[in-house]
Amino acid sequence: MKYLLFMFITSLALSGCGGGSSGDNSSNDSGDSTTTFDQIIIPDGFNLRTSYAVNLNIDLSTTDPMYLSVYGNPTVTLNGDIIADTSSRIIAGELNNGQFNGKFTATSGLSSILVEAWHFDGTHLPFRKIIKLPQENIVIQN
């Protein structure tokens, strides 16, 4: 009796698991669901690499304490004013004796960055520079 009860419970468990196929049975209108590599068209200039590391080395001739912010894709107005999109800040930190060494990851959608270095006391104009990307090593000196 125990054996029959065990077999009954086991058969219920197995029948509840379903029995559909594990593959995808969908196909396109032509009935052909495979594409070979030589059928793929890659446009000129297409880059499969979507992100890359960027080394940022800054050496400004100052000993004043400064704060650094790097923003993505800044806007330049018709009169030459630079506008940072503060929601796009990539990296931030302090400059020690005018120096900063850092690394960040840029994506292929990032065409330029704005590097801003502000004096803590606010008595001097900030250092601001737009850098075009892609670049893997950025060195800024003044």
pLDDT tens-place string over residues 83-127: 999 999 999 999 999 999 999 999 888 999 999 999 988 888 999
What digits encode the pLDDT tens for the residues 27-85? 445 555 677 877 777 766 666 668 999 999 999 999 989 999 999 999 999 999 999 99
User: Residue 132 has which token pair?
Assistant: 């075009």
How many Å apart are CA 79 and CA 140, to the nearest integer? 25
Give a yes or no: residue 8 inside a domain: no
For residue 124, tell me if it sits in a domain.
yes
Q: Which helix (H) or strand (E) holds 100?
A: strand 99-107
CATH number of residue 135's parent domain: 2.60.40.2190
Distance CA 133, CA 110 (A): 7
Task: Specify the pLDDT at position 32.
Answer: 57
Instruction: Output 95 or 13, whichever has higher pLDDT.
Output: 95
**pLDDT at position 19, please?**
47
pTM, entire model: 0.65
- As a whole number of angstroms, the distance between CA 132 and CA 10 comes to 66
Which ranges in the chain belong to alpha helices (H)? 2-16
The answer to whether residues 92 and 67 touch, using CB atoms and an 8 Å cutoff, is: yes
pLDDT value of residue 108: 85
Question: Does residue 20 belong to any structural domain of this protein?
Answer: no
When divided into structural domains, the chain yields a total of: 1
Whole-angstrom distance, CA of residue 108 vs CA of residue 81: 25
Residue span of the structural domain in which 112 resides: 52-141
pLDDT of residue 31: 58
Examine residue 100 and state whether it is found in any structural domain, yes or no. yes
Is the residue at 84 inside a domain? Answer: yes
Q: Provide the 10 A C-beta neighbour count for residue 140.
A: 15
